[in-house]
Amino acid sequence: MIEVRGLTRRYGDVLAVDELSFTVEPGKVTGFLGPNGAGKSTTMRVVLGLDRPTSGTALVNGRRYAAFAEPLREVGALLDPGAVHPGRTGRGHLRVAARANGIPRRRVEEVIERVGLGRASRRRIKGYSLGMRQRLGIATALIGDPGVLVFDEPINGLDLDGVRWIRGLLRQLADEGRTVLISSHLLGEVEQVADRLVVIGRGRLIADATTERIMSGLGHVQVRVRSPRSDVLLTGLRERGFEVERVDAGELLVDGGAAEEVGALAHALDVPLQHLSEVRQSLEDAYLELTSGSVEYQGHELATEGAR
């Protein structure tokens, strides 16, 4: 388990993390989300003992990371896949990590097999692609068979086969009862694997809930309906207090109701339906709604020639 309580981290005048509290539970994949500059990397660095908190605590299984004599047996982490000696082979890198943490040498071969490095493990790391470095970083995180795993952007650089593999790996690790925390900007991938989401902005907690809860727009539901008599249905819906947007001549988007309600009204009005469904909000939609006031670095479209 990871417990962050009242965590604050300042760098001079910059407040990177501001009284942040959340818990990452075992047996679940928890997505850690937020805009650039939100404080995600700083928080993970404090959890992993790479930074000291200005105030508050970040504990792993009830202890500070620095208290572990053999940390890779407790916590596995991937923060920067490039932070390795380029002159070593992948296998050599893993052997050094194992030796430093009292891990049997046979474990090196086991994790090489698990992450799919194979013969590439005998090559020098300086010749690795980003995807291969990612696999090596994940192998390093797994080498101590830890109960807690922290991955920052684990999908970066992986091909389609690698993406499918990492999805399955994350799910398997959580199903084994481990605590899994992942940070990623690839929200479509997080949506597929995360059980719970912690969303932060400007160093503060914005949301901490199940993925299903956050994707539902925190209670927001839309219904898409198509009918050759959409005008009649539109009038009936608005008379009953629904907010309705016309998509095209035959299609409506209804806020604040369920498909059953819209269908029942259409039946009462004798309006035939060609399509009726509840719109499932994507994680991207929910995320953008949650963080709209917390984006620090925001680009703007260039004006077109005619608008100048």
pLDDT tens, residue by residue, 83-111: 899 999 999 999 999 999 999 999 999 99
C-alpha to C-alpha distances, 45 to 102, 107, 184, 208, nearest whole angstrom: 24, 26, 15, 20
pTM of the shown model:
0.79
Choice among 37-41, 104-108, 167-171, 295-299 with the minimum mean pLDDT: 295-299
Contacts of 1 (CB under 8 A, 6+ apart): 23, 24, 25, 26, 60, 61, 62, 148, 179
CATH number, domain 222-280, options 3.30.70.3000, 3.30.70.3400, 1.10.20.140, 3.30.70.100: 3.30.70.100
Kindly list the domain boundaries of the chain, sorted by start residue.
2-215, 222-280
Tell whether the model's pLDDT for residue 59 goes beyond 80: yes
Crossing angle (nearest 10°) for helices 130-142 and 90-100: 20
- Fold equal for 2-215 and 222-280: no
The mean per-residue pLDDT over the stretch 179-193 comes to 92
CATH number of 2-215: 3.40.50.300
